[in-house]
Structure 1
Amino acid sequence: MIRWMEMVAVFCLLGAAHADEWPGKSGGDLRFFVDQAAFKGSGVTTLVEFYVLLEASQLQYVPEGGQFVSEMDLSVELTDSMGTTVGESSWTRRLSVADLSKLEEGGVPYRDVTGIQVAPGRYDALISVEDMFGDRSGALRLPVEIPDLGSDRFAASDLILASSLSKADKESKFTKSGLDVVPNTTRRHLLGQPLSAYVELYNLSKGEDERSKTFVLGYSLTDSGGVKVKSFPASRIQKPGVSAVKTITAETEGLDPGRYFLEIEAFDTGSRQHVRQRRSVLLASGQSSPGEEELSEDQLRQLRYYRSISTLASKEDLKVYEKLTGDDQGQMRFLRQFWKKVDPTPGTDINERLIEHIRRMRHCDDYFSGRAGQLGSDTPMGRVYVQYGPPDDIERDVSGTGTKPFEIWYYGRYEFVFQDRNALGHYELVHSTYPGELNNPMWRAQTF
């Protein structure tokens, strides 16, 4: 089972460079999830909302007035590239329960939200939660890019994936435009169940005739590669004014478990302007192990990258690592020492070599195609890219005249030649001038 503390170790070594995926999960001894979404604010500002989800049973409760209460301080701080605070929000929450046994059973989620008005731009967000009675705390720092929604162009807010969405009987902290929109902060959704979302559209044109007084809204589910796997009928909708609020429901039956994107597209028939927004979601079958349920797909991917040392480690190190198979704690201790050993700046908090390693593996998985079930980082191109980095230059021949399609990657005076032997897009290493690599100067004359 993958342990949460393993991921804390990974994220600590990664530093801030790979904390760019929302939602995020805190470090420290108080665990919580955070997601965010941007909406049109006052004037030229943008309202960015932060959604916090934590398991209430983690908190310390004390008896008070016949019940048991806990208290926590929450804060969000936005800083610019110079470290200057440009917006912040802090608040205190008290929770109460009548029976502590309910907490011991687990499954008592607490959700909260706060909003900050800020100018569009790129910032760092620091989210902190402190248990005032239990002396426990957690924190999470993630970069956030605030879009410009204050211009006159047709625009859309971020999508909120909702764990529940209904007409509001009374105002609450999750009420938006007369609807109670409780965010799915983890973006983890049960496969087969309808997926609900909320979006706002801004700066709709007035329109001169009946047709131009409408807008068209369509939506779809795409896989991680951007391929549509489910499309839903588009609707032509009468404009209620210069802005509109829409809720959508996407069926997820018939899909495989994994990461997808819910994507909306809107077209203003008056201004002829188009806008698109999407939000990632992890469709889970409900059969994952408890350890896997704690991690998002991206976090699991980062953990795999952290453990993938075959292209970097010596034969002696690999033998030691392989002997630790089945000993999760032993492997993690080994990996921590290994990454410290290859850190070019051990006196700093950031391990640049680890960050570069994960960047390379991400690139390979995103852009290289392998055989069925093969990740891009596991292909021959992926192995070379991860081991040696991006090439200085690439020569491509996909014409198919006389030879099979090939690519030559140049690293200074060395070259790596990859050939698509079966014309299926699967490139294999057929020659290299780098010492220790496959050397076959006659590769052009050979027929496979």
Structure 2
Amino acid sequence: MNGNPERHRTGEPEVIGYYSRIACLVCLLIAWSAWTTHGQEQEPAVTEADPNTAAEADSTGAGGDPLLVPANSTGEVDFSVDVSGFRGEEGQTYLEFYFLCRPSGFTLEEKDDGVYVATFEIDLSIIDEQDNAVFQSVQQREYQTDRPVTITRRGEERVVLEQIAAGVAPGTYRAKAIVTDLNSRRSGEAEKPFVAQPLDAAELSVSDLQFSTLIQQAQEQNRFTKNGLLVLPNPLRIFEKWIEMPEDGSYKPRNLFLYFEMYNLTPDSATNEATYDIYPSVTSHANEMTFPLPPKQNRKVSGSDGLDVIALDYMTFPEGIYTLEIKVRDAQAGTEATSSSVFEIVQPPAPPPPATVLTEDQAKRGRRQLAIIASKRERELYDNLDLEGKTEFLIAFWRMRDPTPETPENESMMVFNERFSYADYQLGGAESDRGSVFIRYGQPEEIERHDSDNIMKSYQIWYYTEGVQGDPSRTTEGGRHFFVFGDRRNIGRYELVHSSARGELYNPYWRQDLLLIDESQLLEHRGYDTPTQSRPLSAPETDPGKP
């Protein structure tokens, strides 16, 4: 596929989203010798291409040099940014900045028609070597979905692709990108150093290589179309090795796509067609071995400028970091030009067994759990979903709270479920006061039990001597927090009447709520002549068990 490159400036369509595989099937590793069998670049039969290949991984490891790899954000909004350069107008380099954002970092707002919308802003600045801002663009975008869940029960995360174009003179720059969620005002920031190559010289030259997850003929114009093609970028430049073997056991390739442009080819004077050859090769960063790929020869283009696309089956590549080089040879003039870029192949772990849809009883139990740990907005979202949606919601809810996502166990969910079950059967229910405290704060280090007597109703004091949830900074001056539960109704049901923990019920007069006799009689019993005399209201908080 080739032709003369043109710069398209199109309208701003709705954000295009696609799925990024997080959990993938274990694929069959094929020997290096199979490269020449299956590693053929192909004319892009793009209808078979699947955009679900942008990996959930850290692209900063690919190559090490920030000039060579995409940039990942820091802050509360997670995104990655990459850039490619092409020949622009009037000696400038035309730049395309590619963004991959994860909606899990956005706050989705429900609209009246049942659509959930995230509104966010991209602030892109280009700064030269003298720290002068030579370009700035602030653009507002929207992400819309009919589901508030950003991670499906198949372990896939929905992602958002964005693209912003710019033009600068050739030189060395750094791009500063800030993505802000306008609903929550959370933001993330990334800096991407890059070199804008001079592509307007008289000799043969090749643009930057744009790694893509899908290239096909464009059906309509949007920010991802150029020269009649829909080119979906892969801002991570990471491709996952996963495969679903057909039932007949035949091999099924997975392609990465490469878009690039060539300038100043020498056309034949009679036909005005230029003929060129492409020699791709891949170099492994692990062993520095270079493997030539089959060439594409006798390619023709009308005029002196053209574009080309390569579809490369990467399923036979071992996991690792690579440099892909494209060498273009002008058949008429005999001149050559090259362009190269770093990419990475990753092998995800085997996925967990497929999740089944919750039953009605399981969905109700999930709702009871959310009542303890989830926000009001999250509970409302859950209530409006069907059973499949509730299943996806709970998977996403706990995935975002997994302290060790690299392991198959979700420790937070396991601890919560254990506490929930114990509270349900041993503490009068997970929704009871004691059950709620146990689930949220864990097992107390000490429990004082005071049975009912002639003066006071039964009560318990739970101590957290190492601090609430093991945090020593949350203890009182006496070195421990406490929760007081009293049987106020005298029916064996303990209710929270006082606590020293922040955000919990604070009632220093809790003992008066548990008195069995009239307060004036209690004062007389303790030696006070009249109710107007001063009396102790409660024991010091460092030791609430004192009478």
Letter in 2 for 1:220: S
Residues 194, 101 of structure 1: alpha-carbon distance in 2 compared, 3 angstrom cutoff: closer
Q: Offset of 1:166 from its aligned partner?
A: 0.8
CA–CA separation in structure 2 for the residues paired with 1:111 and 1:245: 23
Residue in structure 1 matched with residue 331 of structure 2 by the alignment: 269
Q: Offset of 1:226 from its aligned partner?
A: 5.0
Corresponding position: 1:201 with 2:201: no
Percent of aligned positions that are identical: 23
Q: Offset of 1:209 from its aligned partner?
A: 6.5
- In structure 2, the residue corresponding to 1:255 is in which secondary structure? coil
Residues 85, 292 of structure 1: alpha-carbon distance in 2 compared, 3 angstrom cutoff: farther
Residue in structure 1 matched with residue 204 of structure 2 by the alignment: 154
CA–CA separation in structure 1 for the residues paired with 2:321 and 2:99: 21
Residues 57, 166 of structure 1: alpha-carbon distance in 2 compared, 3 angstrom cutoff: same
Residue in structure 2 matched with residue 439 of structure 1 by the alignment: none
Residue in structure 2 matched with residue 145 of structure 1 by the alignment: 195
Residue in structure 2 matched with residue 247 of structure 1 by the alignment: 309
User: Given the alignment, which residue of 79, 84, 96 partners 1:32?
Assistant: 79
Residue in structure 2 matched with residue 64 of structure 1 by the alignment: 111
- In structure 1, the residue corresponding to 2:294 is in which secondary structure? strand
Corresponding position: 1:90 with 2:90: no
**Contact 2:218–2:225 (CA under 8 A) maintained in structure 1:** yes
Deviation larger for 92-101 or 136-145: 92-101
Residue in structure 2 matched with residue 343 of structure 1 by the alignment: none
Measured against aligned partners, the alpha-carbon deviations of 1:273-303 in whole angstroms (never above 9, x if no partner) come to: 211111211112232898679xxxxxxxxxx
User: Given the alignment, which residue of 181, 185, 190 partners 2:240?
Assistant: 190
What is the TM-score when the length of structure 1 is the normalising length?
0.58
- In structure 2, the residue corresponding to 1:57 is in which secondary structure? helix
CA–CA separation in structure 1 for the residues paired with 2:65 and 2:406: 20
**Contact 2:207–2:261 (CA under 8 A) maintained in structure 1:** yes
Residues 285, 271 of structure 1: alpha-carbon distance in 2 compared, 3 angstrom cutoff: same
CA–CA separation in structure 2 for the residues paired with 1:241 and 1:214: 10
CA–CA separation in structure 2 for the residues paired with 1:59 and 1:100: 11
**Contact 1:222–1:228 (CA under 8 A) maintained in structure 2:** yes
What is the TM-score when the length of structure 2 is the normalising length?
0.48
Residues 226, 186 of structure 1: alpha-carbon distance in 2 compared, 3 angstrom cutoff: same
Q: Offset of 1:238 from its aligned partner?
A: 1.8
Letter in 2 for 1:195: L
Letter in 1 for 2:311: T
Residue in structure 1 matched with residue 291 of structure 2 by the alignment: 229
Runs of 4+ displaced beyond 6 Å: 209-212
Residue in structure 1 matched with residue 183 of structure 2 by the alignment: 133
Residues 102, 231 of structure 1: alpha-carbon distance in 2 compared, 3 angstrom cutoff: closer
Letter in 2 for 1:72: F
Q: Offset of 1:154 from its aligned partner?
A: 1.0
**Contact 1:46–1:117 (CA under 8 A) maintained in structure 2:** yes
Q: Which has the larger radius of gyration?
A: 2
What value does the CA root-mean-square deviation take over the aligned residues?
2.8
**Contact 1:22–1:36 (CA under 8 A) maintained in structure 2:** no
CA–CA separation in structure 2 for the residues paired with 1:252 and 1:211: 36
CA–CA separation in structure 2 for the residues paired with 1:31 and 1:288: 25
Residue in structure 1 matched with residue 226 of structure 2 by the alignment: 176
Letter in 2 for 1:71: T
Letter in 1 for 2:86: F
CA–CA separation in structure 2 for the residues paired with 1:165 and 1:86: 31
**Contact 1:63–1:69 (CA under 8 A) maintained in structure 2:** yes
Measured against aligned partners, the alpha-carbon deviations of 1:363-399 in whole angstroms (never above 9, x if no partner) come to: xxxxxxxxxxxxxxxxxxxxxxxxxxxxxxxxxxxxx
Letter in 1 for 2:143: L
> Gapped runs of 5+ residues in structure 1?
1-6, 12-16, 294-448
Residues 213, 81 of structure 1: alpha-carbon distance in 2 compared, 3 angstrom cutoff: closer
**Contact 2:99–2:162 (CA under 8 A) maintained in structure 1:** yes
**Contact 1:32–1:54 (CA under 8 A) maintained in structure 2:** yes
**Contact 2:70–2:192 (CA under 8 A) maintained in structure 1:** no
Q: Offset of 1:248 from its aligned partner?
A: 0.7
User: Given the alignment, which residue of 3, 6, 20 partners 2:67?
Assistant: 20
CA–CA separation in structure 1 for the residues paired with 2:149 and 2:78: 21
Q: Which has the higher contact order (CA 8 A, sep 6+)?
A: 2
More strand by share: 1
